[in-house]
């Protein structure tokens, strides 16, 4: 069955960048899109963007455009989400989630990666 | 401030039926299907309902979804203690060209 395993927790200083990975297994990597969603402490879910692992095309949420970059490595079935110019408000758990199309439901989700931004 | 509006909390007793509402607009719920996710404490969200009323694999038929106009609902019948979780609705928004979520509803089973 499909499984998504994410990289470990990160602590970063304001202004730095963070790169989170999401390794897929149990399915054809290039046949599904990969979304990123984040959840600030005690808050709801926020969509970050989506990448097509087949061609590498991306769509980002308007409020993060310019600071977020999603890439993929088809040789290792891994997608990456890099967020730059980090601020304290970026402290959150970041999830990857698979979808058949950009507008289809998310299933499954990765276990989440905690990113803490603190001086 | 979330684009989709959900009640922040609801509660019920074992065996009872509860519903969680999700209100949106013509650019999201009004023109696209709604998905529901369950998030148990300390875990990642899990798909519960997709395409407004389809149960994900392994989800008990106690859970059901519906959509009408710019609103959607999740109903849970025969409430069990294990249903205590946060529930989120989500829909694609054509105007924003992105996904929008509700703020989440915390379900407490008393």
pLDDT, tens only, A5-20: 999 999 999 999 999 9
Of A45, A103, A105, Cβ closest to residue B47:
A105
pLDDT single digits (tens) A42-97: 999 999 999 999 999 999 999 999 999 999 999 999 999 999 999 999 999 999 99
Cβ(B90)–Cβ(B60) below 8 Å: no
Q: Residue range A21-42: average pLDDT?
A: 97
Exposed / middle / buried, residue B22 (Cβ in 10 Å: 0-12, 13-18, 19+): buried
Q: Does residue A107 sit in helix, strand or coil?
A: coil
Of B88, B96, B97, Cβ closest to residue A45:
B88
What is the pLDDT, as a whole number, of residue A18? 98
What is the pLDDT, as a whole number, of residue A24? 98
CA A42/CA A22 separation, integer angstroms: 23
DSSP string covering A3-42: EEEEPPPEEE-TT--EEEEEEEESS-GGGSEEEEEEE-TT
Exposed / middle / buried, residue B55 (Cβ in 10 Å: 0-12, 13-18, 19+): middle
Edge-first strand order for the sheet with A58-60 is: A10-12, A113-117, A92-99, A33-39, A45-51, A58-60
CA A26/CA A90 separation, integer angstroms: 31
Test mutation, B2, B8, B40, B45, chain A, max A CBs within 10 A: B45
Q: Do A45 and B104 touch (CB under 8 A)?
A: yes
For residue B86, give how far its alpha carbon lies from the nearest alpha carbon of chain A (Å).
9
What is the pLDDT, as a whole number, of residue B24? 98
Of A45, A103, A104, Cβ closest to residue B45:
A45
CA B58/CA A107 separation, integer angstroms: 13
What is the pLDDT, as a whole number, of residue A116? 98
Only one residue has tokens 């980090």, namely A86
What is the pLDDT, as a whole number, of residue B92? 98
Cβ(A19)–Cβ(A81) below 8 Å: yes
CA A61/CA B74 separation, integer angstroms: 26
What is the pLDDT, as a whole number, of residue B11? 97
Taking contacts as CB-CB distances below 8 angstroms, the residues of chain A near B51 are: 105
Residues of chain B with pLDDT under 50: none
**Using alpha carbons only, what angle is made at residue A111 by residues A109 and A114, rounded to the nearest 5 degrees?**
120
What is the pLDDT, as a whole number, of residue B1? 82
Q: Does residue A79 sit in helix, strand or coil?
A: strand
What is the pLDDT, as a whole number, of residue A101? 96
What is the pLDDT, as a whole number, of residue A15? 98
């Amino acid at each position: 069955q499909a499984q998504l395993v994410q990289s470990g927790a990160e602590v970063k200083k304001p202004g730095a960048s963070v790169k989170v990975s999401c390794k897929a297994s149990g399915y054809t990597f290039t046949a599904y899109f990969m979304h990123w969603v984040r959840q600030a402490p005690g808050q709801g879910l926020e969509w970050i963007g989506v990448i097509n692992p087949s061609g590498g095309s991306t769509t980002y949420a308007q409020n993060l455009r310019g600071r977020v970059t999603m890439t993929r490595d088809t040789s290792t079935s891994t997608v990456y989400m890099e967020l730059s110019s980090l601020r304290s408000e970026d402290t959150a758990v970041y999830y990857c989630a698979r979808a058949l199309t950009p507008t289809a439901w998310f299933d499954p989700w990765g276990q989440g990666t905690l990113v803490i931004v603190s001086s | 401030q979330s684009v989709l509006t959900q009640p922040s909390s609801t509660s019920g007793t074992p065996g009872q039926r509860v519903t969680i509402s999700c209100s949106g607009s013509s650019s999201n719920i009004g023109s696209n299907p709604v998905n529901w996710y369950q998030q148990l404490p300390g875990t990642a969200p899990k798909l519960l309902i997709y395409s407004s009323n389809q149960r994900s694999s392994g989800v008990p038929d106690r859970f059901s979804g519906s959509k009408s106009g710019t609103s959607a609902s999740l109903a849970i019948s025969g409430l069990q203690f294990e249903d205590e979780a946060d529930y989120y609705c989500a829909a694609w928004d054509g105007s924003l060209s992105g996904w929008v979520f509700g703020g989440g509803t915390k379900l407490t089973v008393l």
